[in-house]
């Protein structure tokens, strides 16, 4: 039977661990809700931009904007991959990074580049022998609109210079605040079919765009890309916090189960010790009478 002092020390240590995991569980749940609130609060802005772009595309003849033109086959691409800075988030990082890598490793063009968001993403690609060409690690945990703008401006500049023909975004999409799915979408060139699916109101007839639909489109596209990236950052952050919430919830439950077992062992050891002492007293008294 294990020494009672050792059992008491284990009970104390695991109790402290349970307090930590319980606190992390609560904090992660609050941060998840905050990240999704940030996403929802700006969605109406994106809807208006998307509506305007779709209206221009549907109602402008001979629209000449390179953001909708498919590049030549085999053109270099940019792969934006969003993971996290920290661990203890269950399978969150491994799921999105494996998903993104399956897509990236099929690209044989050596001119293609990787833009990593989150420390774990940068380390993952480094271990795969593919150093990230651009790193925005600080943008993953608590994303801001400025982070999204910096990332968008970086990839848009490369695309405009003709150094990349496609831009892909891999992130963890969250459905209804609980279902998380690793997802990859094509940011550039913009897929018209996807644009129309996201549009809330295509009935914007008789609108005149000045100085021209093409010039207006050039102003709208950067805003459109910034919001998509910002939305992906917020959803990825929410997914990370929710995954950590689930992991800490499981850890707290496991700690409680271990504590229950240790307490039973402690009481058993205590009873055995008391029984042993009683037996020794009885033997001593019996020996005294003899």
Beta bridge partners of 182: 172
| 279 lies in the same domain as 232 | no
CB atoms within 10 A of CB 97: 23
For residue 194, the model assigns a pLDDT of 64
For residue 157, the model assigns a pLDDT of 92
| CATH at residue 125 | 3.40.1380.10
| 122 lies in the same domain as 250 | no
| 141 lies in the same domain as 164 | yes
| CATH at residue 21 | 1.10.287.80
**Alpha carbon separation from 59 to 161, 203, 205 (Å, rounded):** 28, 10, 8
For residue 158, the model assigns a pLDDT of 92
| 141 lies in the same domain as 285 | no
Whole-prediction pTM value? 0.77
| 271 lies in the same domain as 192 | no
For residue 199, the model assigns a pLDDT of 54
| 174 lies in the same domain as 266 | no
Structure tokens at 121: 């993403």
| 178 lies in the same domain as 195 | yes
For residue 171, the model assigns a pLDDT of 94
For residue 113, the model assigns a pLDDT of 93
* Overall number of domains in the chain: 2
Instruction: From 224, 242, 260, give the residue that closes a domain.
Output: 242
Element (H, E) at 79: strand 77-82
| 194 lies in the same domain as 236 | yes
CB atoms within 10 A of CB 125: 23
From the first residue on, what is the mean pLDDT of each consecutive set of 10 residues in the chain (290 residues)?
74 82 78 75 75 77 76 86 82 92 90 92 92 87 88 92 91 80 89 62 61 81 89 87 78 80 80 76 67
Domain residues for 277?
4-25+246-289
Provide CB contacts within 8 A for 55, sequence distance 6+.
202, 204, 207
- Strands 166-175 and 77-82, by their bridges, are parallel
């Amino acid at each position: 039977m294990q020494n009672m002092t050792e059992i008491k020390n284990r009970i104390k240590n695991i109790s402290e661990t349970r307090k930590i995991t319980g606190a992390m569980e609560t904090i992660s749940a609050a941060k998840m809700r905050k990240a999704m609130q940030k996403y929802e609060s700006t969605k109406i802005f994106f809807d208006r931009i998307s509506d305007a772009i779709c209206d221009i595309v549907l109602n402008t003849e001979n629209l000449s904007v390179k953001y909708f033109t498919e590049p030549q086959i085999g053109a270099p691409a940019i792969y934006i991959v969003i993971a996290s800075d920290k661990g203890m988030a269950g399978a969150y990082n491994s799921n999105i990074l494996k998903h993104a890598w399956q897509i990236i490793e099929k690209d044989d063009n050596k001119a293609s580049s990787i833009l990593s968001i989150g420390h774990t993403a940068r380390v993952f690609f480094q271990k795969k022998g593919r150093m990230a060409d651009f790193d925005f690690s600080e943008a993953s945990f608590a994303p801001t609109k400025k982070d999204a703008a910096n990332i968008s401006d970086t990839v848009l500049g490369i695309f405009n210079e003709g150094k990349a023909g496609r831009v892909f975004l891999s992130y963890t999409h969250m459905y209804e605040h609980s279902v998380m799915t690793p997802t990859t979408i094509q940011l550039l060139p913009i897929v018209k079919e996807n644009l129309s699916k996201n549009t809330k109101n295509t009935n914007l007839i008789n609108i005149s765009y000045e100085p021209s639909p093409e010039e207006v489109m050039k102003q709208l596209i950067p805003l459109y890309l910034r919001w998509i990236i910002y939305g992906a950052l917020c959803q990825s952050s929410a997914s990370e916090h929710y995954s950590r919430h689930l992991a800490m919830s499981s850890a707290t439950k496991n700690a409680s189960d271990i504590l229950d077992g240790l307490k039973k062992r402690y009481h058993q050891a205590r009873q055995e010790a008391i029984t042993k002492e009683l037996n020794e007293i009885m033997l001593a008294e019996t020996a005294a009478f003899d």
